[in-house]
């Protein structure tokens, strides 16, 4: 669970990406002396004082008309909209600028908590230089040096203190699911089709702190919540016309969901961003159902359902466990099959297997296909047990994890899937040395 989302904003070349990389502990974002290198938002998650935080690195905002300036401001505003709080990065070396004052006005309109971060204070004797940033109208700036790691811990302490108390809404009794996919693939139409079925009782409640609407409803004696991932609307303009602007909303929805409906547009076909979005759900260990929408627009004389199924399985080979359904949200054809499947894959993600049964399956698999040998050393599987669910996670103890090849791990995963119904859910296998 993510406890808070923090956007890093500021004008070009103040060290936003360097700060992002320092917090992440890795060079995730591109750093360059030339202003304006970062144009897209970048995302990373980290933990500080038991709080799980996601940070968003954004492009620089400036008054001067530069290439991509409008696009950068749009995606920065989206990041601010999605964030719980903002780190406003300024340069202690450059001092207060007109661009800084312009950004301060933009942030005040957002009504989000803001921490002013005076970067490039490489020597603390220059800390007194940061007080001119009081003119921005915020509390005392925090002096840091992203390059040397100075003040980063104090900054993260302040982030924790300033996070809003309400985090992402979680659901305990209801089965929550979200519909993810690129903009304009029919997410809203599919949600409407699901909610308009017979025997569904719908009531709207206020959703997350990011102004999405989560809709609870009951169907066949099961309580559900469908989590909205529709485009962000601000001042009447839909900003998510550009596909990349939808990623962060999908990420937040995925984290709050028990099951993911991954929607593919039957008219537009499979795009690169489809793999990006659903890849995050796969890495998060969420049960996934692939929903091919607008099947009514496909010429079935040229492309059969089997042909399309094979294409999807090829393009998304890492989702071989995910069932595929072909529907039309417009005509509601086969939409009725989705909710029972949601229940099924959720139940599979919660499945627990007894240790003795697991070991029987693993031993039989090892007898059928013996473990590999490396440098004359034979891999020995000692025993296995399930340690968690959602996703089902198994620990296999061996004599030497170094000779446990990933292909043999995949073989054992397939053996577990043949023995138990894990349709729709990823399963994780952790290899450990006995006694470790």
Is residue 231 marked as binding? yes
Q: Contact, 407 vs 378, CB < 8 A?
A: no
pLDDT of 69 higher than 70: no
Q: What is the mean pLDDT of residues 35-39?
A: 37
Tokens matching residue 339? 């909710």
As a whole number, mean pLDDT of residues 11-23 equals 89
Residue 59 labelled as part of a binding site: yes
Q: Which of 65-74, 222-231, 258-267, 347-356 has the highest mean pLDDT?
A: 347-356
208 is in an annotated binding site: no
- 121 annotated binding-site participant: yes
Establish whether 120 is an annotated binding residue.
yes
Tens of pLDDT, residue by residue over 299-357, are: 888 888 999 999 999 999 999 999 999 999 889 999 999 999 999 999 999 999 999 99
Residue by residue, DSSP assigns 287-354 as: -EEEEEE-GGGS-TTTS-HHHHHHHHHHHTGGGTTS-EEE-BTTTTBTGGGHHHHHHHHHHHHT----
Residue 10 host element (H or E): none
Q: Is the pLDDT assigned to residue 233 strictly greater than 80?
A: no
The verdict on whether residue 11 carries a ligand-binding annotation is: yes
CA pair distance 148, 277, nearest whole angstrom:
34
Check whether 51 is labelled as a binding-site residue: no
Known binding residue 293? Answer is yes
The structural domains of the chain, ordered by start, are 4-162 (3.40.50.300), 175-349 (3.40.50.300), 355-433 (3.30.300.20)
* Annotated binding-site residue? 113: no
Q: Is 44 annotated as a binding-site member?
A: no
Query: Do residues 77 and 59 lie in contact, with contact meaning Cβ atoms separated by under 8 Å?
Result: no
Q: Do the annotations mark residue 48 as ligand-binding?
A: no
Q: Provide the pLDDT confidence category of residue 125 given band limits of 50, 70 and 90.
A: low
Average pLDDT, the chain: 81
Q: What tokens appear for 22 in the block? A: 């320092």
Rounded to an integer, the average pLDDT of 242-270 is: 75
The verdict on whether residue 218 carries a ligand-binding annotation is no
> According to the annotation, is 230 in a ligand binding site?
yes
Q: Which of 132-141, 170-179, 210-219, 300-309 has the lowest mean pLDDT?
A: 210-219
Taking the C-alpha atoms of residue 265 and residue 249, their distance in angstroms, rounded to an integer, is: 19
Give the start-end residues of each E strand in 21-102: 42-48, 51-57, 85-91
If you ran DSSP here, which 8-state letter would residue 371 be given? Answer: P
């Amino acid at each position: 669970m993510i406890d808070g989302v923090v956007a890093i904003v500021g004008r070009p070349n103040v060290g936003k990406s360097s700060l992002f990389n320092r917090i992440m502990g890795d060079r995730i974002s591109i750093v360059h002396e030339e202003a304006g290198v970062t144009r897209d938002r970048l995302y990373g998650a980290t933990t500080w004082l038991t709080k799980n935080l996601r940070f968003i690195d954004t492009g620089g905002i400036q008054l001067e008309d530069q290439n991509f300036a409008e696009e950068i401001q749009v995606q920065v505003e989206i990041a601010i909209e999605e964030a719980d709080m903002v780190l406003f990065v300024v340069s202690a070396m450059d001092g207060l600028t007109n661009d800084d004052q312009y950004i301060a006005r933009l942030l005040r309109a957002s009504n989000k908590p803001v921490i002013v971060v005076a970067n490039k204070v490489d020597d603390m004797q220059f800390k007194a230089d940061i007080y001119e940033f009081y003119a921005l109208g915020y509390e005392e700036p925090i002096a840091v040096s992203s390059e040397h790691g100075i003040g980063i811990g104090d900054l993260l302490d302040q982030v924790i203190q300033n996070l809003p108390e309400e985090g992402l809404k979680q659901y305990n009794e209801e089965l929550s699911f979200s519909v993810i996919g690129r903009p304009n693939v029919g997410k809203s139409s599919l949600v409407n089709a699901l909610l308009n079925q017979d025997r569904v009782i719908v009531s709207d409640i206020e959703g997350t702190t990011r102004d999405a609407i989560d809709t609870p409803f009951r169907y066949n004696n099961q309580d559900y919540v469908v989590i909205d991932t529709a485009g962000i609307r601000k001042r009447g303009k839909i900003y998510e016309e550009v596909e990349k602007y939808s990623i962060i909303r999908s990420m937040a929805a995925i984290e709050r969901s028990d099951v993911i409906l991954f929607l593919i547009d039957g008219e537009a076909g499979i795009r690169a961003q489809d793999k990006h979005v659903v890849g995050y759900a796969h890495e998060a260990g969420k049960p996934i159902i692939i929903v091919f929408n607008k099947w009514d627009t496909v010429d079935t004389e040229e492309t059969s359902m089997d042909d399309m199924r094979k294409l999807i399985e090829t393009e998304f080979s890492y989702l071989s466990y995910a069932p595929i359904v072909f529907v039309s949200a417009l005509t509601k054809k086969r939409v009725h099959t989705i909710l029972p499947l949601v229940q099924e894959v959720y139940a599979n993600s919660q499945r627990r297997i007894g240790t003795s049964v697991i070991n029987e399956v693993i031993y039989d698999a090892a007898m059928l296909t013996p473990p590999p040998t490396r440098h004359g050393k034979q891999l020995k599987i000692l025993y296995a047990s399930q340690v968690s669910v959602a996703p089902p996670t198994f620990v296999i103890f061996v004599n030497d994890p170094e000779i446990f090849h990933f292909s043999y791990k995949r073989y054992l995963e397939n053996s577990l899937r043949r023995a138990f119904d894990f349709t729709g859910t990823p399963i994780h296998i952790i290899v450990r040395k006995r006694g470790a």
